[in-house]
Every structure is written in structure tokens, then in C-alpha cells.
Amino acid sequence: MSVAGLLWRGAATLAAPLLPLYLRSRAERGKEIAERLPERHGDGAARPPGPLFWFHAASVGETLSILPLLPVMLRGRPGLHVLVTTGTVTSATLLAQRLPADVAPRVLHRFVPLDVPAWARRFLDAWRPDAGAFVESELWPNLLAAAAERRIPMALVNGRMSVRSARRWGWLPALARQTLSRFDVVLAQSPGDAERLAALGGRPVSAPGNLKFAADPLPADPAALAAVRALTAGRPVWLAASTHPGEEAMIAAAHRILAPARPGLLTIIVPRHPERGPAVAAELGTASRRAAGAEPGPDATIHIADTLGELGLFYRLADAAVIGGSLVPHGGQNPLEPARLGCPILAGPHMHNFAEIVGALEAAGGIRRLAASPAALADAVDAVLSSPDYGRSMAGAAALVAAQQAELPERVAAALLPLLPAQDTEEGRVTVEA
């Protein structure tokens, strides 16, 4: 093990006595579920019989990206169950909401243990996965080391390595090489990600494509959609989707610029983290908040949609949408979500987390970029509201980009299923002594 790896293992072990306080603090702020905190220590296993494949998806984006993959994996291996670990409450909730009824009984969820060696060992010894995959850029050294000790085949799926992250890992080349060597299969999102992962890990990496291109459209409850459409009929509507702190004030300022020339204008803001709803409403001086029971009725001008899992509803409603996280240096949110639902896409300058996708959308004319200012935002929204043909052209081009690589889940599953043991040897992994 590298010196950096030993230091990380030692630091995590020394920090372990303090981490329960950290977890309880997060639970008090709604970042954890109090009764499920033992899972963060590696407890709470309930391994089903037969083969078990483990996916670790850090948060919402990673979790949603593997949803199209799960049915393919389950069809490809009779008797297979899938364990999905995540690190956020929102991702756990959305996973439960989005799993198809025929898939849900064979998919289990747990919160991932923190990267403490003893907790990682406890987790793996109880669950005994036959194979596993980390999604995108989750590279936890102690969890991966524990999996390697138990000879659990591992993959990196939809692997992402930004230029900035590659530069940081480059400061610890031995740790980077050691960590990436734990993966038997590395599947990158793009050729650029593959090149950076290969350089850090010293091994070939394939780039079959980005699973975010293969996701299903975000769902919407038909009754809720019909009700909101009836309330907003005839009004120009634009959406700020998955916003982050610092963006809502800019959006409200753009609304004030647009409103005099747009009678009935409705601006809908969906915070990335719904628990921010009350603070956002207080900042903007609006009482129209969906989680508090308000609807975007005729008296609402700025409506805060601070509920979970309803973004698909508002993309279907809006005449245009600006992507949250792009007006502040966060890196943006997934622009393919509005693309699949025919909603014209606007985005600020900070979309580096989705550079490949944004590049494809820009080349096709499926997205409009803008400066991070209320005036630029108002100008972009006004351009779409003023010309429905322009908006439809953008949406059509974006939909074609979003439809690319529809067969990618099958290709990824074909690379992952061979990591499982032959069907006549499925006894689960044995416990390794600490």
C-alpha cells in the first residue's frame, strides 16, 4: 500500500470515534435519517440468497444514471439481486420512487458506510457481494481496499475524471494508481475521461459512453400535471431547475426585468435541495411555496416548488428552463432532463460537470448559453418566449442529442455481468479476517 494510502487509512481510523457526532449533526439538519445511522457504520445487512451485485452511487445524478442499467442486469442473470448504496437522503428517496414495479423487489438500498477500514470490513463481510461497481467519480480507498482483500471483482461505471480532479490526484500518483488498480473493469463516460483515468491508473480504459444519455424521461403525476396546467393556462412560464444558493436572487431579478413586458409571467424555482425552500421563499419575499400547500395560482408570480421528485412535472409545464448550478461556480445539473421533455434549455457559464453533453447540445443548436447576470438571463428567456418556433427548434435539436446511445445499458451490462461467478458456484463471498 502507498504511503498516502496508509496515511488515509490511519486518519480514517483515528477519526472514527468522532464520526458518530458528525453523523448525528447531519441527521439534525435533515442530511441523514436518524434511525438508519447504523448503516453508515456498516450495519444493517440483510443479504438475500443467490448472486448479489453491489452498485455504489454517491448522490442523485449517479443514482439516476444507473436506473436504466438495473433492469438489464436483472434480466441478464436469473436470481440476481442488486444492492445500491448512496450517501444522500434525496438519492435514496428518488431511487425508491423511480424503480419500476417489476424491478423494485430485487433491488435493495443502504446508505454507504463512511470510509473507515473497520466499517468497510463490517459492511462487506455482512453483505458478501459477488461483484460491485462504483459510479462516476466515487473512489473511496478503504472500501476499495477491503473489496480487494475479499477478492470481490469491482468496476468503475460511467467513470468521470475532470481535468481539475486529475490534477489533484496527480499530486498523489501512487495513491491514484493503487486506487484505480482495484477496478477489474473501467468504463469511462467520454474519451477525455478515459484518457485521464488511464494516465492516473496506468492501464487501458474503454469509453462506451455516458449512461446519462440513456436515462428515461423524468416522470410526472398526470393528475398533478393537469391541475397545474389548468392553473397556469395562458400564462408565460419559465423554470429555474435545481438551483443553488446565489442563483435565486439572480432569477428573481431577471423576473422583475421581464414582468413589465410579460403580463401574467410566472417564474418557478425548484431548489436543488428542497429543504432550502423556506429560506429561498424568505429571501425572495414570496409566500407561494409548494411544500407549504401553495399552488401557482393567478396571484403567484414567483413560485417555489420545493417538493421532491416533481421536476419532471415542471419541465413539462415550462416554456423555457435555465439549468441550476450554472449561474454560480457549481458546475451545472443534467441538461438532458429537459431535453427529453421538449423544454428549451438555457444555461449559464458554469457547466463544467457536463462539458461533453453541453458540447454536443451546443453543436446541435439545442442549448442557449448566457452570462451569469439578471440582464443576460432575462434576455435569453425573452428570446424563447418571444419566438415559439425558436424554442421548438432548440427543443427538437436537444431531443436528438438526448436520444443518442439508447443501447448503452446493454453494452455496460455485458461488461459487468461476467464479473459475477458462474451460476453453479454462487455461494457468496467469504468473510476475511481483519
Rg (C-alpha) for the chain, rounded Å, is: 23
Q: Are the C-beta atoms of 4 and 175 separated by less than 8 Å?
A: yes
Backbone angles phi, psi at 82, to 5 degrees: -125, 130
Residue 380 corresponds to which cell in the numbers above? 435569453
C-alpha–C-alpha distance, residues 112 and 129, integer Å: 14
The reply to whether 247 belongs to the active site is no
C-alpha–C-alpha distance, residues 292 and 168, integer Å: 43
Backbone angles phi, psi at 323, to 5 degrees: -80, 125
For cell 418557478, name the residue. 268
Strand runs labelled E in 244-340: 266-271, 302-304, 320-323
Query: Of 32, 35, 39, 62, which is the active-site residue?
Result: 62
Question: Cα separations (Å) of 221 from 9, 99, 226, 337, 340?
Answer: 46, 15, 9, 16, 16
379 DSSP β-pair partners: none
Q: Active-site residue numbers?
A: 62
